Structure 1
């Protein structure tokens, strides 16, 4: 499994807008990609901004390319996200998932 990690920052005023976009539009898009295995959106205050870290999981790099295109290291930042964010990473990182541990859901 491949983990794709990306970060973006929003003002405190637009952070909820970005989170809603991720939970609706991004989620809908990802669920249509073959090999999509799930995603997590992490959120924390970073000074005057809110930093988001998105971790999406795919079965293989071929599945990542189906989502991101021929340059899988290029960030996919839709126009709605660009309006809510103040800045973002233009490049993403990919990692092989070495261990996949699940708790009891708490």
Structure 2
């Protein structure tokens, strides 16, 4: 599995707009991309600015190329995202997922023996 990582920044006032765009438009689009395995959007508040880190997961680099084009390290930033963000990475990074730990069914403290 390949993780595709990208960052975008926005004002605190527009951060919820970008989050909504990601949860709706981006999520809807990605559901139809062959090889898409999931996504996470991380949020980091830094004073009057918010940094979002998007991590999307694909089965292969070929699937990423089908999504992003031949220059698969070029960021794909929709017009709605461009309106919400103040700046963004023009290039993305790709990482082979070396370990993928499943989420526990119950919180860890409940799994420990009493």
Q: How does the TM-score come out when normalised to structure 2? A: 0.90
**Cα distance in structure 1, aligned partners of 2:3 and 2:24:** 20
Gaps of 5+ in 2: 108-114
**Cα distance in structure 1, aligned partners of 2:77 and 2:46:** 20
TM-fit CA distance, 1:32: 0.5
1:22 match? 22
2:91 is equivalent to residue 61 of structure 1 = no
| CA RMSD across the alignment | 0.9
**Cα distance in structure 1, aligned partners of 2:67 and 2:46:** 29
The answer to which structure has the higher strand fraction is 1
Tell me, what secondary structure is at the counterpart of 2:87?
A: strand
Corresponding pairs, count: 106
Gaps of 5+ in 1: none
TM-fit CA distance, 1:92: 0.1
Tell me, what secondary structure is at the counterpart of 1:24?
A: helix
TM-fit CA distance, 1:46: 2.0
**Cα distance in structure 1, aligned partners of 2:28 and 2:99:** 27
Larger Rg: 2
**Cα distance in structure 1, aligned partners of 2:85 and 2:59:** 28
1:3 match? 3
**Cα distance in structure 2, aligned partners of 1:98 and 1:59:** 13
Q: How does the TM-score come out when normalised to structure 1? A: 0.97
